[in-house]
Amino acid sequence: MTTHDEGEPDDALEAAVEVAPERSPWRRWLPRMAALAVLVGAGVVGARSWRRAHASAPPTGLRVRLGEVVVKAQATGRIVPRQEVFVRPLVSGMLVELTARPGAVVRRGDLLATVRILADPVALGDARAQVELARVRHERAARELARARAQSARDLIAGQALDQATGDEAVARAELGAALGRAQLIARGSAGGSALRSNRVLSPVDGTVLAVPVNVGDYVSETSGFRDGTTVAVVADMTDLLFKGQIEEAYVGQLQLGMPVAIRVGALPSESLRGTLQWISPRASIEQVGGAAGSGVQALTASSAGVTRFELWAAVAHPPGAVRAGYSASAEVELARATGVPIIEESALRFEEGRAYAQPCGGGPERAVTVGVSDGVRIEVTGGLRPGDCVREREGR
């Protein structure tokens, strides 16, 4: 049995056991430093990319320049004759002749239509009865006059009695003539010696026939104190035209009668008409919200809701022959004009509490600017900036 001393090392054990070498500090920190460098590089690249992507575009510069600013108010409406005459018959009956044609030029007194009277049996019977009564009264007055003349020839009555009999006979004769004329008018539509004028529809003015809303064979009613008769024709002077339109209330206070008006007709794009402002309504018209228009004249109250407009008229100077009644048109009224003055776009200015401010392109504090006429896009600069100055356009304008 082999034994070993306690103090001697075991060679086999020393060979079997390997002592692990101590690790270097660089090997331990190198991976961490590499990862940190990658993260820093990625952050720098990302920051630069974000800056390029989100960098705001350099502000746009606008320069003050000399130019013109014109302020205009626009109204929309129609071209209409100054006066349209609705021609109606004086008697009721059937239309048997119609000479009026739309577009025809007529003179005052020209025949437009002829009406044949359709007699009312009741009215005709009353008229004939009045004729008989008037004839009886006339015959009695004639006999009394003959008797008075015979007695006067023998000096049996005074001259005053003869005069009374003569007057009574004259009155009775006039009443008989009136009754006969009325009966003839009801039966035939004309009285004796009237040349059928009562049933003839004549043009009351010179002008152009705009419309003929009836046809031959239609029944037309007469004009009376209780109703309007049937319109046979519409006649108007097409050389005297008006632009009638509506304008927003914001411009009404700046309008004056006599102002020149530029009129554009939608159907005649190549024509530019000139006119003069002649009338502005003293009363507003309220267009209900949603486009609903009230019927007739509505009372104005503090609670009247809708768009407030005013009607205006402008006389058209030298209207061309191609203009027709009722054409849609627009009119522009020049309210103010500034020519040869420094101007700039309103988008370059900041407005606050009634004052205007501009930011110079080169930086620095804002400048206070005084302004004048504006058309909503360009504005006149009266102080604070000079022609050639560069102003930074405000963002979001």
The answer to whether residues 313 and 257 belong to one domain is yes
- The tokens describing 339, both together, are 């020519």
Contact 344, 65 (CB under 8 A): yes
Question: Crossing angle for the helix pair 159-188 and 121-153, nearest 10 degrees?
Answer: 160
pLDDT averaged over the chain? 83
Residue 131 lies in a domain: yes
Residue 50 lies in a domain: no
Report, in angstroms and rounded to the nearest whole number, the Rg of the chain calculated over CA atoms: 51
The answer to whether residues 270 and 385 belong to one domain is no
pLDDT higher at 348 or 16: 348
Residue 151 lies in a domain: yes
What's the CA dihedral at 357, 360, 363, 364 to 10 degrees?
A: -50
Please indicate, yes or no, whether the overall pTM of this predicted structure exceeds 0.95. Answer: no
The answer to whether residues 346 and 331 belong to one domain is no
Range in 59-63, 244-248, 326-330 with the lowest mean pLDDT: 59-63
The answer to whether residues 206 and 260 belong to one domain is no
Residue 4 lies in a domain: no
The answer to whether residues 90 and 231 belong to one domain is yes
**pLDDT number for residue 149:** 86
- Single out the residue in 236, 258, 277 at which a domain terminates: 236
Q: Domain count of the chain?
A: 3
- The tokens describing 346, both together, are 């309103």
**pLDDT number for residue 7:** 47
Contact 312, 279 (CB under 8 A): yes
Task: Provide the pLDDT confidence category of residue 121 given band limits of 50, 70 and 90.
Answer: confident
Contact 105, 208 (CB under 8 A): yes
The answer to whether residues 342 and 270 belong to one domain is no
Residue 145 belongs to domain with CATH number: 2.40.50.100
**pLDDT number for residue 247:** 94
256-288: pLDDT as tens digits? 999 999 999 999 998 889 999 999 999 988 876
Q: What residues contact 277, with CB distance under 8 A and at least 6 apart?
A: 255, 256, 257, 258, 259, 260, 261, 312, 313, 314, 333
142-191: pLDDT as tens digits? 998 888 888 888 777 777 888 888 888 999 999 998 888 888 777 765 55
The answer to whether residues 105 and 207 belong to one domain is yes
Domain with 258, as residue range(s), is 73-81+237-289+305-335
Range in 53-62, 204-213, 246-255 with the lowest mean pLDDT: 53-62
**pLDDT number for residue 196:** 45
Residue 213 lies in a domain: yes
CA angle 118, 212, 208 (to 5 degrees): 125
The answer to whether residues 266 and 217 belong to one domain is no
Residue 148 lies in a domain: yes
- The tokens describing 317, both together, are 């100077």
Residue 196 lies in a domain: yes
181-239: pLDDT as tens digits? 888 777 765 555 544 446 789 999 999 999 999 999 999 988 777 788 899 999 999 99
The answer to whether residues 102 and 77 belong to one domain is no
- Region for residue 207 given its phi and psi (left: phi exceeds 0; alpha: psi -120 to 50; beta: otherwise): left
The answer to whether residues 312 and 323 belong to one domain is yes
**pLDDT number for residue 329:** 95
The answer to whether residues 381 and 258 belong to one domain is no
Residue 267 belongs to domain with CATH number: 2.40.30.170
320-371: pLDDT as tens digits? 888 999 999 999 999 999 999 999 999 889 998 889 999 898 888 888 999 9
Residue 42 lies in a domain: no
pLDDT higher at 83 or 289: 83
Residue 67 belongs to domain with CATH number: 2.40.420.20
The answer to whether residues 219 and 249 belong to one domain is no
